[in-house]
Structure 1
Amino acid sequence: MPWLPVRLTSLKQCQAQFGELGKLRLLHLVRRRISILNGHTIGHDVVADRAHRYGYRLYSSVKQQHWSATLMKLLRYILASLCLTLTAAAGWIEDTEDGTVIHVKVFALPDPAANDSYSRAQGQSIKEFVRRFPELFAQKYRDTYKADPATYGDHNWDNVSIEMHRFSGIQVEGVETTLLSIAGDIAPDVLYVNFRQSSSYIEQEFLYPLDEYVDQMTEEQKDFRINKKIWPVIKRVGPGSSEEQVWAVPYGGALGKVILYNRQLFDESKIPYPDNNWTWEELFDICKKLTDPANGVYGIQLGKGIHESWYWVTFLWSAGGDCMTYDRETDEWSCVFDSDAAVKALDFYTQLTTEHWTDKLGKKRYGYAYKEDDASVKWDRDQIGMRFSYIDEKLLTTINPDKIGLVPVPFGPERDVEVDGKIVKQRMRGAELNSRMMGLYAGIEDRVIRDAAWEYMFWYDSKDAMGIMVKIMVEGGLGRYINPKYLKMFGYDAILRLSNPAWLEAFEIAIETGMPEPYGRNSNIAYDLMTHPIREAEELGLKGKLPTDSEERYNVLKGLLKKAVARANRDMLGKIPPQEMQKRRTISGLVLAMIVITFVMVFWWIKRIFTAPEVAGGKQERWGFRRYRMAYVMLIPAVLTIFVWQYWPLARGSIMAFQDYKVTGGSEWVGLDNFAEVLWSVDWWKSVWNAARYGFLIIALTFLPPIILAILLQESPYFSLIFRTIYYLPAVITSLVVILLWKLFYEPSEKGVLNRILMSVPAWGYILLALILLGVALAFARRLMYHESYKLATVYTLAGLLLFYSCSSLAGPIFAVADATFVDYIKMILNEPVAWFWKLGATLEEPNRWLKDRDTAMIACVIPMVWAGMGPGCLIYLAALKGISDDFYESGDIDGATFIDKILFIVFPILRPLVIINFIGAFIGAWYGASGNILVMTAGGANTEVADLHIFFKAFTHMRFGPATAMAWLLGFMLIGFTVYNLRILSRLEFKTTGDKG
């Protein structure tokens, strides 16, 4: 780091140069940050000197320009702030008067404000580690560090202490938070690792191998901490090595998946409690008996979103299937969740969620599971019968045994198994085996911090730490929930009689029959990819399109799984034949050349568009630096800001499109492989089509309504205050509140706000509204025809027909007849006209599944944007309308212009420049700004994954930055033509003030 000076200065010098505020910032920094130079830790004096030297040099150069004293103080503070914020943010070493303090940052620490027994036990355990660390350090490390100051630094190793710090960072649903911290170079020293993440973390070289530390552990210590079934997860071959290495260590013991059940609901329905030998059939029967949607009661809680398959894999394993398999000879993983067992599991899961039935009130219902976001609330309200949960090896559970029961997952279907040469019928149970794990961040440069971080990891789940936690939990009344073997181990035999033996038996069954959560190559996206066939099967089931014939149903589900496995092998494992890959590279090279040529031509065209025409007979001034020097000086900050934050990241990031990019470094050049992958990705082009659908809806529903609202507020003297209040309300509340509010409106039951409204409107109401909209559009078309604007008249006519179809289709389910064609409808209307006439007064019988149904999910994501954007959007147009002179309207009245004529030939022409500018922003925003809205509403489900959300997932969930960058370039290539065309229009516009209306 060449910017670090050699000379050290003091805090007093820093204070003298930067003032008291600079000193306070420096003191705050000293407590948290440190710079590292060639393995040596540099304390706060170096940071102060760095700020002092660079701030002073720049200050001196500026002073020569005779700036004012006020500006000088501001500049000095800014320079000091910038210098002080450039230090590292993970662990550091601090030299104090009392000795050396090693600061270690970990992914999580117990909340000191929490007063529950478990949190207090964790907190006390960590306090004990901090208290014991000086003695531990003296025994294991002091002499070694003192003997090698070149490696460990020249510090006071005779008096060492440690301070633990909790990592804090942004949390984004569907995104690995650790990845964001690593990308920002602020990762904690101790990382949280789970099974799914482990392979990607190892391949991306996020983790430091732990063999040198684990080898120091005794066999007793290893057995105490590491379940034998977890060793394949934590010990495997890493990048650039042929030998297995240990990459993480578990903590908290093994976790097994079980099912919790609500005793109260079972008692009310007079259903016997499930035992350890229950089966799928019993689970299904219990769900049917418990479910009562009219009272908000459901049989089982399942999930939705990109990780829904977490619930499904238990059924997959219980049916005898698996997610991934590993071939040790070839060191290759394969996805195999398309087996016959997987078909059985998917069929059973789909029946649980979509089976059609009729309740006591005669209403049609679907499935017996509850999958909405407020499922935990309904569980607490005793409105859900069963749910999946983990049981902990150390602290088995903290449920109230009088209210909640616990049982292993049920046995799967019978299958033929060969035993002693005979085929017998057997059932198997496939619970999930999991564990929380810790790993050392590979980016730790200082060996001292790495050793201290390991000691924390070792202590956290050691026998001594467990003894402290057991003591505090027993004293806090949690003794009955602790695994009996630990009560025996630490001398609490008197508490054993309070333990529930059924819990221990359930845990042992869960661990014995547990299958490790997917931990193969790139398995951090395994749940995402396995969720796709579940969603597709659910959509078919809800619409009644799944065949009832067992063989046909098998073929449909098998096809969905095969398609998902092919996608998983391609996206997760990159299995593409060499010949096919070569063909893709060739075509992608041609496409890339076309992109480069297009961009060059586009920039040349832009330059030509915005270059003033030559003036005959005179010399044209091009840049005019001398004449407009002050203007250029004022533009410098803006240009630099755009360059630094827009163009430089664009240029730097473009390199990633040709790399197998790794956040921690060591990226490999792959040439055109990323573009080749993207061009042949069906999912990418599907997301592009979804983005086009979303863009059309955004333009149709959020771009035009503000114009209409502005005209109504301008022209109509009635209800203007009400309109202003209703439509401007979203501007004074946060967008998150708007989204959550509409998610409540979209509740898929008949209790949802929108469903309650729509289910109370008769069919003739929808048809009448459709006719009104069609009439308005035809009225505009008629006036355009009168003025011989035939093309625009055609557009308005088509728009009116589209509005009529969209609105009247809301009444479609009222008249729908299964498998009926258009001809069948005509025949039925002619044969039974009276019956069909009475249907006009009927209402919807079933609620809409807004965010689950692919027919309504996309428009359901757009509707909140309509309400949120109309108020602020109409203000711009309303201001423009206020600037239109009354002379125009008076002239129109004299010429006999109607209200529609004034809108078409006075208002729209004057607003045209403003409309074009807003249209460009709305169109580009619809393509690049959809991800946040879609992510919150559907997370890409129900065929709503748009292009920018697909890029987001590819980069920050799949951790494949190269293909994501290639996608971004292709998306930009698609939109640049549109942008240039509109810039050409803007270059021809002349902007003037509207003047005084009076």
Structure 2
Amino acid sequence: MCVSHVSHAGYIEDRDGVTVIHLKVANLPDPSRTDTASRADVAAVARFKERFADIFREKYAQQYKDHPEIYGKYNWDNVQIELHNFSGLKVESVETDLLAIAGNLAPDVLYVNFRKSDTYIRNGFLYPMDQWIDTLPRQELDQRVHDKIWPVIKRKGPTGQKHVWAMPYGGALGKVLLFRKDLFDENNIPYPDLNWTWEKMFDAARQLTKPAEDQYGLLLGRGKHESWFWVSFLWSARSDVMTYDEQTDQWTCAFNTGDAAKALDIYTRLSAEKWIDDNGLIRRGYSSKDTAGASTKWDEGKIGMHFAYIDEKLFSTINPDVTGMVPVPLGPADENGNRMRGGELNSRMLGIFAGIDHPAIRDAAFEYIWYYDSDEATRIKTNVMVEGGLGRFVNPKYLQRYGYHDVLQLTPRGWAETFEIAVNTGKPEPYGRNSNVAYDMMTLPLQKAEQLMINGDLADDQAVRLKQFQEILDDAVEKANEKMLGILTPEQKRTRRITAAATLVLIVIAFALVFRKVIKTFTPPSTSLDGKQVRWGFKKYWSAYLLLVPALLTILMWHYVPLLRGSVMAFMDYNIMGNSKFTGLENFGNVLFDAAWWQSVYNSLRYCFLIIALTFLPPVILAILLQEVPHGKLFFRTVFYLPAVITGLVTLLLWKMFYAPSESGALNKVLMHIPAIVFVAGGVVILISCLLFARRLFFHEATFAAVCFVLAGLFFGFAIVSLASPILMPRGESVGQWVVHFVPRLIDTLPEPYQWLSNSNTAMIACVIPMVWAGMGPGCLIYLAALKGIPDDYYEAADLDGAGFIDKILFVVFPILKPLVIINFVGVFITAWMSSANILALTAGGANTEVAGLRIFYEAFTYLKMGPATAMAWLLGFMMIGFTVYQLRILSRLEFKTTGKK
């Protein structure tokens, strides 16, 4: 018999007279792993399973037996527990744990971090722990929970009452700076110490950076959470991420206060400051921001420094002979010459999922959480670590507590002090209202500042540059307060509601007109003698209707019913755990005034244009060339079709490697050996080719098509020539200097490698190129097949009329391919709006590549803002209506006939 077996996780089973409680746990230690730290955790869990029967008997058995109406009629005298690991798909930059909760697949024991804790609490994902915590001795709680962590785990919930929502394990985590001693020794740089400052770290990073050898001074990062690397600079500059007013219960973003501009200045210089290396190449910054291969580079000695967490229980497993560890550097001096250190304080936490139905599973979940970091469990873990030869990496206070005095002398000198400084000077990771979005909002000014420095738009004078940075931060904080915290004036709210109402009226009218137009477009002309239109014709066409019923019901059930039901969320503050609130037009109003949303729509248009320009016509051109090539047709067809055998994800990862931002990257390595004159010549050839087509079209009075060819030639010609712009037109030069040096520079090569995926000028086109590479071959096959169907008589007739190669393409090939081209155009257009996954894999929306579909995905499934996401989807659908009707009109006019018949 099995009861309470819900889809999300645990259940209770009666197995041969033994009551088995099944518990699904996030981050359950894996017994298959053989490293010492994992074996220590596994040993502690194994001991918990052994002791659970005694714990249950002592604390719960009698209560359960006295109240069978609550706990069920089980044999509570013989209880066991089985633990199951929660596993889910891991996708970079995607909060898959929130997806699991949304899909009712959450584990009973949730992993909680500071940043997402507010989202978990406000949405009702966590069950309060007060009923268990209140029974525990205060001494045990103080020993386990650091004073700075209490505000994170004990705070107001949805009802306004304070509760304990999670319990830390593994002790406090402090952020420190790790450095490679061997690299410092090679460059004669003194090791960092407790008094190290920003300036010293910057100088060390500059000396350690040698891009030609793929060696960098500091490891930073990219993506939506890049600001994790910056936040330590922010805190050390006497600023903060968010502040809280206890009296008003109001959080406010504050990352523009104090010396935040100085923190942004040094971070941007580390990321993108321009300098010239010994080979005369332009370089940017003194850091590596490629986090994907960071661990390999660190192990190979290619990274000089990087920020990392230090664990209270297990300091690290690094080799102290090679790697050193110090607290984060001191920030800038104030007017009195005093400096501040602001590292990050964090902790791993576990919580109880609020969706658990059976109280016995909740009790078991808490007992697991409490035991996993109890004194007994810590003793077991310490013992395994010592026996495994890693005792010197355990915090000395635990070695002292459990009697391993002989191991104490092996502990790396200074590490305990470093940990104490890191924790005492650290600030908790952002945990305020909607702090799950905090890193995203703080990353925006970082990306903007870096792009300005790359473009040369920042002042050389530090005072002026700091003012520029302050303006960037002020604007970012204003947007963060609005986006994260919803801080709006009554007048702003009223304006948004009125605008939203007017927009919705327009949407309703537009949909009505569209459906009317669609019905009219697909209504066939009357064929009856009296001229009357047959509306339905059930009697005559009953068999056709009968055949359509299954398809109609399927589409209705799986498309329109979910669409209509989901549309209700656009008018609600939707909570997947229930208790959703009706908010009227608030979601639509906020979306209409969301600059980030409109930027994503603009990015979608750019992305769509590039996909159509680069993946729609090139297969047609390739098919014609493959058809006309006199020799080696099989060879060329194989070469162009070969990329199609590689799966999409592999293609993207392959090109991500090609896009490596150094000269060692495959694409940069090729381009940096091509002189500027080749790019110029390529652009001129494209322009002349398009002008030749335009000339023939003008001759035949096809003015619109001719103008399109001229514009296409200018666009593609300029795009190719612009690859040489860093060579021919360096920033900061006058027109006169450019003219004087133009001819000599034609034989020069690129002065610096392209930052393909991190520079907003190249990132979008970089996301499209893999689709072109992989899609050209398969895309041209259908056109090749159509070209085979063109009779030779047409070409012979064209020859007799004096038609040239271009005339044959324009007036023989294209008219026959036109229906196929139109159908494919519709497919390419739809694909362009549905291919957000490519951007997610390559840039995750960074470098100004976040398209509308990706924006909606993040809003709904990363931040669980289902209401605004649904409103965005409706607005996007409204914008697509016009083109949809146009496509339907074109398709309705197409006629398909068997070859050879009229």
TM-score range, shorter chain: over 0.9
Asked if the contact 1:35–1:88 (Cα under 8 Å) also holds between the matched residues in 2, the reply is: no
- Do the aligned partners of residues 578 and 538 (structure 1) sit closer, same or farther apart at CA in structure 2, a change above 3 Å counting? same
| Post-superposition CA distance 1:442-481 (Å, at most 9, x none) | 1111111111111111111111111111111111111111
1:544 CA drift (Å): 2.2
- Stretch of structure 1 that moved more, 719-728 or 459-468: 719-728
1:197 counterpart = 2:116: yes
SS in 2 for 1:415: coil
Distance of 1:119 and 1:850 partners within structure 2: 39
1:639 CA drift (Å): 3.1
Asked if the contact 1:224–1:463 (Cα under 8 Å) also holds between the matched residues in 2, the reply is: no
1:230 CA drift (Å): 0.3
1:362 CA drift (Å): 2.6
Distance of 1:511 and 1:935 partners within structure 2: 35
1:217 CA drift (Å): 1.4
1:295 counterpart = 2:213: yes
Name the residue aligned to 1:755: 668
1:744 counterpart = 2:657: yes
- Do the aligned partners of residues 719 and 821 (structure 1) sit closer, same or farther apart at CA in structure 2, a change above 3 Å counting? farther
Name the residue aligned to 1:880: 786
Distance of 2:787 and 2:103 partners within structure 1: 47
Name the residue aligned to 2:842: 937
Name the residue aligned to 2:832: 926
Name the residue aligned to 1:269: 187
1:691 counterpart = 2:604: yes
- Stretch of structure 1 that moved more, 949-958 or 587-596: 949-958
1:527 CA drift (Å): 0.6
SS in 2 for 1:498: coil
- Stretch of structure 1 that moved more, 150-159 or 192-201: 150-159
User: Higher relative CO (CA 8 A, sep ≥ 6), structure 1 or 2?
Assistant: 2
Distance of 2:182 and 2:550 partners within structure 1: 67
Name the residue aligned to 1:127: 46
Distance of 2:445 and 2:778 partners within structure 1: 41
1:427 counterpart = 2:339: yes
Which of 137, 144, 149 is 2:56 aligned to?
Answer: 137
Quick one: which amino acid aligns to residue 670 of structure 2?
I
1:320 CA drift (Å): 0.8
1:724 CA drift (Å): 2.1
Name the residue aligned to 2:36: 117
Distance of 1:836 and 1:470 partners within structure 2: 69
Name the residue aligned to 2:714: 801
- Do the aligned partners of residues 631 and 124 (structure 1) sit closer, same or farther apart at CA in structure 2, a change above 3 Å counting? farther
Distance of 1:962 and 1:457 partners within structure 2: 34
Asked if the contact 1:258–1:510 (Cα under 8 Å) also holds between the matched residues in 2, the reply is: yes
| Post-superposition CA distance 1:344-401 (Å, at most 9, x none) | 1001111112222222223222211111132221111101111110000011111111
SS in 1 for 2:701: coil
1:777 CA drift (Å): 0.6
Give the 5 Å matches for 1:810-959.
Answer: 810-820=723-733, 822=735, 824=736, 829=739, 832=740, 836-929=742-835, 931-959=836-864
1:622 CA drift (Å): 4.7
Give the 5 Å matches for 1:614-653.
Answer: 614-617=526-529, 622-625=535-538, 631-653=544-566
Distance of 1:349 and 1:89 partners within structure 2: 43
1:715 CA drift (Å): 2.2
Give the 5 Å matches for 1:340-489.
Answer: 340-372=258-290, 373-416=292-335, 424-489=336-401
SS in 2 for 1:426: coil
Distance of 2:538 and 2:495 partners within structure 1: 52
Which of 489, 496, 503 is 1:584 aligned to?
Answer: 496
Distance of 1:130 and 1:638 partners within structure 2: 53
| Post-superposition CA distance 1:930-976 (Å, at most 9, x none) | x2111121122221111111111222223211111111111110111
Distance of 2:632 and 2:585 partners within structure 1: 60
- Stretch of structure 1 that moved more, 632-641 or 160-169: 632-641
Distance of 1:456 and 1:474 partners within structure 2: 24
Distance of 1:477 and 1:644 partners within structure 2: 61
Quick one: which amino acid aligns to residue 672 of structure 2?
M
- Stretch of structure 1 that moved more, 760-769 or 194-203: 760-769
Asked if the contact 1:920–1:979 (Cα under 8 Å) also holds between the matched residues in 2, the reply is: no
| Post-superposition CA distance 1:150-200 (Å, at most 9, x none) | 111111212111100011222222222221111111110011100000011
1:686 CA drift (Å): 1.1
SS in 2 for 1:607: helix
Quick one: which amino acid aligns to residue 668 of structure 2?
N
Distance of 1:468 and 1:616 partners within structure 2: 90
1:668 CA drift (Å): 0.4
* Structure 1 runs of 4+ with >6 Å offset: none
| Post-superposition CA distance 1:788-813 (Å, at most 9, x none) | 11221111112112222111122222
| Post-superposition CA distance 1:129-154 (Å, at most 9, x none) | 11111121111111111111111111
| Post-superposition CA distance 1:717-763 (Å, at most 9, x none) | 33433332232223211111111111111111112211121111112
Q: TM-score, normalised by structure 1?
A: 0.88
1:986 counterpart = 2:891: yes
Distance of 1:378 and 1:714 partners within structure 2: 48
Name the residue aligned to 1:523: 435
| Post-superposition CA distance 1:610-652 (Å, at most 9, x none) | 1222234267655455655555454444333333332222111
Name the residue aligned to 2:233: 315
Asked if the contact 1:851–1:860 (Cα under 8 Å) also holds between the matched residues in 2, the reply is: yes
Give the number of aligned pairs.
Answer: 900
Which of 646, 656, 659 is 1:733 aligned to?
Answer: 646
| Post-superposition CA distance 1:555-587 (Å, at most 9, x none) | 210111011101110110001111211111011
- Do the aligned partners of residues 950 and 393 (structure 1) sit closer, same or farther apart at CA in structure 2, a change above 3 Å counting? same
Distance of 2:51 and 2:34 partners within structure 1: 24
SS in 2 for 1:445: coil
SS in 2 for 1:425: coil
1:974 counterpart = 2:893: no
SS in 2 for 1:389: strand
Q: TM-score, normalised by structure 2?
A: 0.97
SS in 1 for 2:612: helix
| Post-superposition CA distance 1:808-853 (Å, at most 9, x none) | 122222221443455x36xx63xx4xx5433222222211111122
- Stretch of structure 1 that moved more, 918-927 or 184-193: 918-927
SS in 1 for 2:218: strand
SS in 1 for 2:880: helix
Give the 5 Å matches for 1:213-228.
Answer: 213-228=132-147
Distance of 1:152 and 1:626 partners within structure 2: 62
Give the 5 Å matches for 1:652-671.
Answer: 652-671=565-584
| Post-superposition CA distance 1:324-345 (Å, at most 9, x none) | 1000010000001112411010
SS in 1 for 2:746: helix
1:98 counterpart = 2:98: no
Asked if the contact 2:763–2:847 (Cα under 8 Å) also holds between the matched residues in 1, the reply is: yes
Name the residue aligned to 1:545: 457
Distance of 1:271 and 1:567 partners within structure 2: 42
Distance of 1:369 and 1:784 partners within structure 2: 53
Name the residue aligned to 1:713: 626
Quick one: which amino acid aligns to residue 609 of structure 1?
T
- Do the aligned partners of residues 281 and 819 (structure 1) sit closer, same or farther apart at CA in structure 2, a change above 3 Å counting? closer
Which of 567, 587, 603 is 2:515 aligned to?
Answer: 603
Distance of 1:982 and 1:218 partners within structure 2: 71
Distance of 1:579 and 1:842 partners within structure 2: 58
Asked if the contact 1:196–1:517 (Cα under 8 Å) also holds between the matched residues in 2, the reply is: yes
| Post-superposition CA distance 1:283-302 (Å, at most 9, x none) | 11111211111111111111
1:484 CA drift (Å): 1.1
Which of 471, 477, 484 is 1:565 aligned to?
Answer: 477
Quick one: which amino acid aligns to residue 204 of structure 1?
N
Quick one: which amino acid aligns to residue 919 of structure 1?
F
Asked if the contact 1:748–1:849 (Cα under 8 Å) also holds between the matched residues in 2, the reply is: yes
